[in-house]
Amino acid sequence: MSKISAVDLFCGVGGLTHGIIQSGINVVAGFDIEENCRFAYETNNPNAKFFKQDVSSLSGEEVEALYPQGGIKLLAGCAPCQPFSKYSQGRDVRKDKKWPLLYAFSRIIREVKPELVTMENVPDVTKHEVYHDFISELEEQGYHIWAEQVFCPDYGMPQIRKRHVLLASRLGPIQLIKPTHAPENYKTVLDAIGKLPPIEAGDSDSKDRLHTASSLSPLNMKRIRASKPGGTWKDWPQELVATCHTKASGRSYGGVYARMQWDKPSPTMTTQCFGYGNGRFGHPTQDRALTLREAAILQTFPKRYKFVPNDRKIEFKPIGRMIGNAVPVKLGQIIGDSLVQHIFS
């Protein structure tokens, strides 16, 4: 397995890296512009070195020098997805500084010529010209390509998350391994976080600082107590309903201020997943929002994955951003397993 070595572009805190390491692939380095990610990336993936560098300024020569001699090179990456998200529709994303990053990824592939490539992004990436240019560039270089939307519960992730996954190989036809789960045995919220110690809003678990829940205002405490698992704010007494939801423009937003369900996968984890009012992020039975640890576990990070040093204060926004922006570790492992199967079977 050590014959495959990888460099992870846009690595964040290491979700993709950690997953493909679990497949037996040797990840040698990760690149990201967020210095806050360095601790988590290097602490949990000690054989991989973190480089704080903008991928658009990175040369293929620099990347190629990181690979061991004589092995199979994998170049992996998830370019920041905000320009391709459905939430970006309607604004001029051409002005977004993140827009050219997929072109930078393509340029590095052309310069390094790795045997294997993988890219993961939001499904709407396929609606943009830059994605089709990326595909065309791979085809011109002789890569065999598999690229489809992946529904994460089909692969054992306890989260309703859809991602576009691309695998490319210069060595022959390639594809993702077949789904490992079906609706009757999807991993659920209960499977993932049901055994964590109960805590109250605003409190932390004494044995795990990341198992910390944000505080709730008195009004939001009344709201969550009036919320049913799988329900919406439409279940509340009228006096608890927010003014914005009584307007025609807000009546369709039923997925905020809501509890998850024990017997189903969770909603997609976002950078705001620690906030009760930001989505269906209420705990199924406890009167609080998800803790940071619960969100990380739903993203399939190991239960002891470290995100900040022990002497650093737990802050919701930066850690929530790390967790929400990550590639689920299990998805990284599925990608890695597919690449290993392609090479060694």
Polymer length of the chain: 345
The catalytic site residues sit at 81
Amino acid code (one letter) for 166: L
CB 295 within 8 A of CB 322: no
How far apart are the C-alpha atoms of 156 and 265, rounded to whole Å?
10
Annotate 127-140 with b (16+ C-beta within 10 A) or e (fewer): ebebbeebbebbee
Helix axes 329-344, 15-22, angle to 10 degrees: 40
How far apart are the C-alpha atoms of 281 and 286, rounded to whole Å?
11
How far apart are the C-alpha atoms of 151 and 147, rounded to whole Å?
13
CB 155 within 8 A of CB 179: yes
Please tell me the number of Cα atoms within 13 Å of 23 on its side-chain side.
29
